[in-house]
Amino acid sequence: MSPMTLKPGSSAQSAYNLRSTLPESHERHTLSVLVDNEPGVLARVIGLFSGRGYNIESLTVAETDHASHLSRITIVTTGTPQVIDQIHAQLERMVPVHGVTDLTVLGAHIERELALVKVASTGEKRVEALRMADLMQARCVDVTLESFVFEIAQTSDQIDAFIELMRPLGLLEVARTGVAAVMRGKEPME
């Protein structure tokens, strides 16, 4: 990283991280944050996002290491590259945060979300709903004569698609967990 290779006067479009400050499109990033599972830690993270005006598309949290009381928070956020970098740095400097991984930057990773989708219909629509669920690899976890509850664990896009398919077939309500994500391959995130 030699500043000498930069064109003088390039600061408005600084070569550090090689991005333009010209109108930037928003990017969607998935961040994985390992935190101490202490009281208030989720409020701290959410407070950072609301206080500084960052977006949260989804956020999931649960303790993932019971022995050392560590929780993993997976956040899907959108913003300009500069804002994404800020979010990363702001999260990283929080005292209970052990590490922040920007999975979108790192590349190949798996994202999954779980949804429970309730569909109520009869006759032909009911048959069609069951057939679509089968095609989309959704599992029926509750059934009555007039309804199904499907469980689908997929990427957020595919869940969106499934919900759209169910809409004309008697969609009643949906509960979604938000995204959980890990890197591909044998390397851990931290």
Partner 1 sequence: MSTEMTGAEIVVQALKDQGVEVVFGYPGGAVLPIYDEIFKQNEIRHILVRHEQGAAHAAEGYARSTGKPGVVLVTSGPGATNAVTGMTDALMDSIPLVVLTGQVPTFMIGNDAFQEADTVGITRPCTKHNWLVRDTDQLADTIHRGFHVATHGRPGPVLIDIPKDVQFATGTYVAPEQARTHTYAPRTRGDRAAIEAAVELLERAERPVLYTGGGVINSGPRASALLRELAAETGFPLTSTLMGLGAYPASGPAWIGMLGMHGTYEANMTMHGCDAMFCIGARFDDRITGKLDAFSPGSRKVHVDIDPSSINKNIRVDVPIVGDIAEVLEEMLAIWRERGAKKRDVSAWWKQIEEWRAVKCLTYKASTSTIKPQYAIERLEALTRGMDRYVTTEVGQHQMWAAQFMGFDEPNRWMTSGGLGTMGYGTPASIGVQVAHPESLVINVAGEASWLMNMQEMGTAVQYRLPVKQFILNNERLGMVRQWQQLLHGERYSHSWSEALPDFVKLAEAFGCKGIKCDDPADLDDAIREMLAYDGPVIFDCVVEKHENCFPMIPSGKAHNEMLLGEASTEGAIGSSGAVLV
Q: Which residues bind partner 1 (CB under 8 A)?
A: 1-4, 6, 8-17, 21, 36, 39-40, 43-44, 47, 51, 82, 85-86, 89-90, 92-96, 98
Nearer to partner 1 by C-beta: 8 or 123?
A: 8
- Smallest distance from partner 1 to CB 1, Å: 6
Cα–Cα nearest to 121, from 113, 112, 130: 130
Nearer to partner 1 by C-beta: 55 or 86?
A: 86
Q: Between 81-92 and 41-51, two packed helices, what is the crossing angle to 10 degrees?
A: 150
Cα–Cα distance list, 129 to 92, 142, 160, 170 (Å): 45, 14, 15, 8
- Smallest distance from partner 1 to CB 129, Å: 45
Residue with tokens 């032909």: 124
Nearer to partner 1 by C-beta: 15 or 116?
A: 15
Nearer to partner 1 by C-beta: 45 or 117?
A: 45
Cβ neighbours around 139 below 10 Å, total: 11
Identity of the amino acid at 99 = G
- 82 phi and psi angles, rounded to 5 deg: -65, -40
- Smallest distance from partner 1 to CB 65, Å: 14
